[in-house]
Amino acid sequence: MSLNMFSLEGKTAVVTGANTGLGQGICVAYAQAGANVIGVARRSCQETADKIAVFSGNFTEVIADLSDISLIPRIVEEAGKAYGRVDILVNNAGIIKRCDAADVTMEDWDSVININEKMVFFLSQAFAKTWIADGKGGKIINIASMLSYQGGIRVPAYTASKSAVMGMTKAMANEWASHNINVNAIAPGYMATNNTENLRKDGQRSEEILSRIPAGRWGTPEDIAGAAIFLASDAAAYVHGFTLAVDGGWLAR
């Protein structure tokens, strides 16, 4: 087997939530693997661009509020203008709102579902339509969660959305695999990102979490790189509808 199967040379990838955390890590990894990268975020991706510029990779940002479904056509259009045809979509952007289930408001529920679930489906649909039309296929990688498998505490909307991500990944794969579109997901474990900052600052909760992780540490954006490259590459050509856990062994416990 040639390692060229894992190369993304000449491919173009769109990554949402590209300005920080896992999204930034995936952007850097893809650029290192040879891809042209388009980062979508509601804030500047300059830090991501700077990291990629170090090794002269190709990166373009698209500023868009991913809670607004009406922006999808513009995202698709701007992505196409940047480097031509898009080959890979990573639905990474997501938000989490911590609150007792008894106190969750409809507004907070909708804000989480809109970004974590609704945007994931309809942005995937938009790119899939272009791939079905040109007959060349593509790769969709959704970012799921440990809470795609478990219920969690004080994050009912997030849990609902990430459970949906796993289900949508299977559903989209069932319909689009015959069009040479691979739809898979990555379920990160507990990662040192903005979403977990409050947990990591809570000494008791942090210790509880670390005691459950066989690897004994929080994950990093770099830990996602291999899985993200694999699922975007030719090496994963016959992988459809699967959610790959990158969790330090959390689910094994």
E strand or H helix at 39, and its extent? strand 36-41
Active-site hit among 30, 83, 158, 190: 158
Closest CA to 122 of 135, 111, 113: 113
* Spacing of C-alpha 249 from chain mean position: 20
Phi, psi of 9 (to 5 degrees): -55, 130
Closest CA to 177 of 239, 89, 244: 239
Supply the DSSP symbol for 115.
Answer: I
* 158 is a catalytic site residue: yes
| Pairwise CA distance, residues 99 & 18, whole Å | 26
Active-site positions read 158
